[in-house]
């Protein structure tokens, strides 16, 4: 006697922007495929957005409509609440909490919500026997959450790093290929709609920092700790830095790195140099890349579209399909109650550094700089001075491995030499 067919999994989608409509299109286009792969129909029963009259390039006529996402989250005909509205307070948080309390599972693409409230939401969900899935919150269509929680679950993770904001990578690679200054490419990205309403979320590293803090929690079994991520955006990177770094065999990327050390958890999202021949160095345009290092697997590289309707909706549907199949995991890969309070650690691991100085045309100027670096414990690996017609010239230095503290001491002492104009630029060179 064959088993009775499973009831449909009923979805409620809050937010009908790019991602929400992408989810609608997948469910409509692949209904038979989804049912075959999950063993049950996957259907949309209700949706929520503020403006019902807006043209959204999808047929929504068969779905119930709620203006209030909290009302959607508590409907009896919704099994899984899909939150793709954005924002870490207000409707997104209220509706997510309401859905969990109403016995629904939650799928979200909201990295800010998880970065700021992930621990309390995970505790709420697990206390109620529910789950929160969020593959789409980090690196768009790249299945990095599933890789960490499932495929690499047998590894002690040593390091997680990557380029996690496509807008910043687009700006940096566009500056390089077109030879354009930062301000020009920033405006171009704004005109193309690549930037968030608050551009600092992108170019200030905040969006990518949210993602890094989520990956670190899963990788190292700690509570999400976005407030301890060292953040520096790309606003001070000049076209000269990009060209000069290229001359030395490097590319500049906004790179996130998280690792557990004997002193605690290091998390940083800062501009770094990477070798131009490395996977990260070859990454172009709006693409994302995440590199994971485990004690058994070694290094794996995940690359793909970090945003957009199709890739992000694909990630949402990956979570939906797991729920349809009955796969349930703790929110961050292990019970929220077992996650440790992270001990934040400043970056102290030695690394080479790239230094750019504007050196005055004075006798002994280079010797004075070398003396300051040496007294701070910084030794020079390579140096290049460019020709000039002015009273000063750019000088590039690549150091041997040194500590961030030593670099800070050296830069603080350079003004006293009276041979350096302006503020030096120092960027860490990450070995990948």
3-class DSSP state of 292: strand
Give, rounded to a whole angstrom, the gap between the first and last alpha carbons of the chain.
Answer: 57
| Beta strand 287-294 pairing with 298-305 | antiparallel
Mean pLDDT estimate for the chain: 94
Task: Give the predicted TM-score (pTM) of the model.
Answer: 0.93
Report the percent of the chain where pLDDT is more than 90.
84
Res. 128: pLDDT tops 90: yes
Res. 1: pLDDT tops 60: no
| Beta strand 230-231 pairing with 264-275 | parallel
3-class DSSP state of 197: coil
Res. 138: pLDDT tops 70: yes
Tell me 416's DSSP state: G
Residues 183-197, mean pLDDT to the nearest whole number: 89
With a CB cutoff of 8 Å and minimum separation 6, the contacts of 429 are 250, 272, 273, 274, 351, 352, 353, 354, 398
* Local confidence band at 192 (pLDDT 50, 70, 90 cut-offs): confident
* Local confidence band at 94 (pLDDT 50, 70, 90 cut-offs): very high
Distance CA 205, CA 168 (A): 8
Residues 353-370, mean pLDDT to the nearest whole number: 91
104, 111, 211, 223: which is the annotated catalytic residue?
211
With a CB cutoff of 8 Å and minimum separation 6, the contacts of 401 are 350, 351, 352
- State the Cα angle at 97 between 95 and 103, rounded to 5°: 100
Res. 122: pLDDT tops 50: yes
Radius of gyration over every alpha carbon of the chain, rounded to an integer in angstroms: 24
Residues 266-274, mean pLDDT to the nearest whole number: 96
Residue 2: what pLDDT? 53
Query: 9-137 adopts what CATH topology?
Result: Rossmann fold (3.40.50)
Report the 10 Å Cβ neighbour count for 102.
Answer: 16
Q: Is 54 a catalytic residue?
A: no
Residue 193: what pLDDT? 83
Res. 181: pLDDT tops 90: yes
Contact call for residues 214 and 118 (beta carbons, < 8 A): yes
Res. 388: pLDDT tops 70: no
Q: How does pLDDT run across 369-380, given as a tens digit for each residue?
A: 999 999 999 999
Residues 186-191, mean pLDDT to the nearest whole number: 91
Report the 10 Å Cβ neighbour count for 315.
Answer: 31
Ranges of each domain in the chain:
9-137, 144-307, 353-429
Q: How does pLDDT run across 22-72, given as a tens digit for each residue?
A: 999 999 999 999 999 999 999 999 999 988 888 888 999 999 999 999 999
As a CATH number, domain 144-307 is 3.30.360.10
Phi, psi angle pair for 33, to nearest 5°? -65, -45
* Local confidence band at 361 (pLDDT 50, 70, 90 cut-offs): confident
Contact call for residues 280 and 253 (beta carbons, < 8 A): yes
Residue 49: what pLDDT? 94
Query: 353-429 adopts what CATH topology?
Result: Alpha-Beta Plaits (3.30.70)
Which H or E run includes 72? helix 69-73
Region of 99 (left: φ > 0; alpha: ψ -120 to 50; beta: rest) is alpha
Residue 4: what pLDDT? 60
Residues 200-228, mean pLDDT to the nearest whole number: 96
């Amino acid at each position: 006697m064959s088993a009775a067919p499973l009831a449909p999994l009923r979805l409620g989608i809050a937010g009908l922007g790019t991602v929400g409509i992408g989810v609608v299109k997948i469910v409509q286009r692949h209904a038979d495929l989804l049912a075959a792969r999950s063993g049950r129909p996957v259907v949309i029963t209700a949706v929520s957005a503020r403006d019902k009259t807006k043209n959204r390039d999808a047929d929504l006529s068969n779905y119930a409509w709620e203006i209030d996402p909290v009302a959607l989250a508590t409907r009896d005909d919704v099994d899984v609440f899909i939150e793709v509205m954005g924002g870490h307070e207000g409707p997104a948080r209220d509706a997510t909490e309401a859905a969990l309390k109403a016995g629904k599972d939650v799928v979200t693409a909201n990295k800010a919500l998880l970065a700021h409230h992930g621990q309390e939401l995970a505790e709420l969900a697990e206390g109620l026997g529910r789950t929160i899935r969020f593959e789409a919150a980090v690196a768009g269509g790249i299945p990095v959450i599933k890789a960490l929680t499932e495929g690499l679950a047998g590894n002690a993770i040593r390091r997680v790093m990557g380029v996690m904001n496509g807008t910043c990578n687009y700006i940096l690679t566009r500056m390089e290929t077109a030879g354009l200054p930062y301000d020009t490419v920033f405006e171009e990205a704004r005109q193309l709609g690549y930037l968030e309403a608050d551009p600092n979320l992108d170019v200030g590293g905040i969006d990518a920092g949210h993602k890094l803090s989520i990956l670190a929690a899963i990788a190292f079994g700690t509570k999400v700790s976005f407030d301890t991520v060292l953040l520096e955006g790309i606003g001070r990177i000049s076209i000269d830095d990009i060209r000069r770094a290229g001359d030395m065999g490097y590319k500049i990327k906004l790179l996130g790195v998280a690792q557990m050390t004997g002193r605690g958890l290091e998390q940083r999202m800062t501009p770094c140099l990477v070798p131009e021949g490395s996977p990260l160095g070859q990454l172009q345009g709006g693409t994302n890349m995440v590199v994971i290092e485990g004690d058994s697997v070694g290094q794996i590289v995940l690359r793909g579209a970090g945003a957009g309707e199709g890739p992000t909706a694909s990630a949402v549907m990956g979570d939906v399909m797991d729920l349809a199949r009955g796969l349930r995991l703790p929110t961050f890969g292990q019970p929220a109650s077992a996650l440790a309070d992270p001990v934040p650690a400043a970056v102290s691991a030695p690394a080479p550094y790239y230094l750019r100085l504007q050196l005055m045309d004075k006798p002994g100027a280079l010797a004075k700089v070398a003396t300051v670096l040496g007294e701070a414990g910084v030794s020079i690996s390579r140096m290049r001075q460019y020709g000039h017609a002015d009273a000063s010239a750019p000088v590039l230095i690549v150091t041997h491995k040194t500590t961030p503290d030593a670099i800070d001491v050296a830069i603080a002492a350079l003004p006293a030499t009276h041979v350096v104009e302006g503020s030096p630029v120092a960027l860490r060179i990450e070995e990948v």
